[in-house]
């Protein structure tokens, strides 16, 4: 019988972290080796995740947790200001990383790629682990070749720190790469703007509108337009449990990858 894969969860007290703790604990082929959160104050990781069991105290020191538990893979759902330190700590110790924290700069991504090469340890970061969202990005990539106008509206909970979302930014980038040229701006130019910033941001003439309100988890709509028609692609997230199949897939497969991989597409056949 194959030994379960030892997994460490960073950000175990966060909304996503609690879901990951639960998903890893319940997966028969994975072993929850450790849980880390800098805000921990003696909490039990299993209890915090809503499980009836106890017995996994949350650590505040990632390096110490790695030394003690020797995980094969760490999963990080923390914050942009914390994730790079966590990635460095893991990769330099030979621990593969699955990351879902968004808001990283291009310099951050280049450093992660360099660390992967230097220490021979793989890492996968994805802006979205919901399989439906990954398919939405693929379909948007295809549609971008045939429509000259496109806008993205993304809606997230009001505690999300970055805007636009990593999913919206990645979607726009993939659309532009597939198209091979910018989208067309409106023929008559933008309408008069009476509220500063109401039109959102822009990437290659793809306008991105970010909405942050309570009651929302994560939704995104991509609207394509041409003469006499529109095409709308929409993905709605009603609960964070939808991300777990993608997270578990990444945990199981990341060690078979080489270097730094961006996006879950690499694991979908």
Q: Which positions ≥6 away from 103 have C-beta within 8 Å? A: 79, 80, 161, 162, 166
Cα angle value 8/259/244 (rounded, 5°): 40
Q: Indicate which residue of 15, 149, 157, 160 is catalytic.
A: 160
Q: How many angstroms separate the first and last alpha carbons of the chain?
A: 27
Place of tokens 């200001």: 81
Q: Is 157 among the catalytic positions?
A: no
Q: Using CA atoms, how far apart are residues 261 and 257, in angstroms rounded to an integer? A: 8
Q: Using CA atoms, how far apart are residues 55 and 126, in angstroms rounded to an integer? A: 30
Q: Using CA atoms, how far apart are residues 108 and 89, in angstroms rounded to an integer? A: 14
Q: Indicate which residue of 156, 157, 194, 209 is catalytic.
A: 156
Structure token digits, residue 92: 């330099």
Enumerate long-range contacts of 41-47, CB under 8 Å, 24 or more apart. 43/13, 45/9, 45/12, 45/21, 46/21
Q: Is 160 among the catalytic positions?
A: yes
Provide the annotated active-site residues. 156, 160
């Amino acid at each position: 019988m194959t030994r379960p894969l030892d997994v460490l969860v960073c950000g175990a007290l966060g909304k996503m972290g609690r879901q990951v703790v639960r998903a890893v604990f319940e997966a028969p082929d994975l072993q929850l080796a450790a849980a880390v959160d800098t805000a921990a104050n003696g909490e039990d990781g299993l209890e915090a995740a809503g499980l009836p069991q106890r017995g996994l105290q949350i650590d505040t020191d990632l390096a110490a947790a790695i030394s003690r538990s020797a995980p094969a893979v760490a999963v990080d759902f923390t914050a942009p200001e914390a994730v790079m330190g966590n990635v460095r700590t893991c990769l330099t110790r030979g621990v593969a990383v699955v990351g879902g924290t968004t808001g990283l700069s291009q310099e951050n991504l280049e450093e992660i790629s360099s660390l992967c090469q230097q220490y021979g340890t793989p890492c996968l970061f994805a802006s979205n682990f919901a399989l439906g969202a990954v398919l939405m990005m693929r379909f948007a990539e295809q549609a971008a070749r045939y429509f000259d106008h496109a806008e993205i509206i993304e809606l997230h909970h009001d505690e999300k720190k970055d805007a636009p979302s990593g999913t919206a930014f990645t979607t726009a980038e993939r659309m532009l790469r597939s198209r091979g040229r910018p989208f067309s701006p409106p023929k008559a130019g933008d309408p008069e703007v009476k509220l500063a910033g109401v039109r959102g941001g822009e990437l290659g003439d793809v306008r991105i509108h970010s909405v942050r309100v309570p009651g929302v988890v994560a939704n995104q709509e991509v609207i394509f337009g041409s003469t006499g028609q529109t095409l709308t692609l929409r993905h709605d997230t009603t609960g964070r449990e939808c991300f777990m199949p993608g997270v578990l897939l990444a945990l199981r497969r990341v060690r078979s990858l080489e270097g730094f991989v961006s996006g879950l597409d690499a694991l979908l056949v």
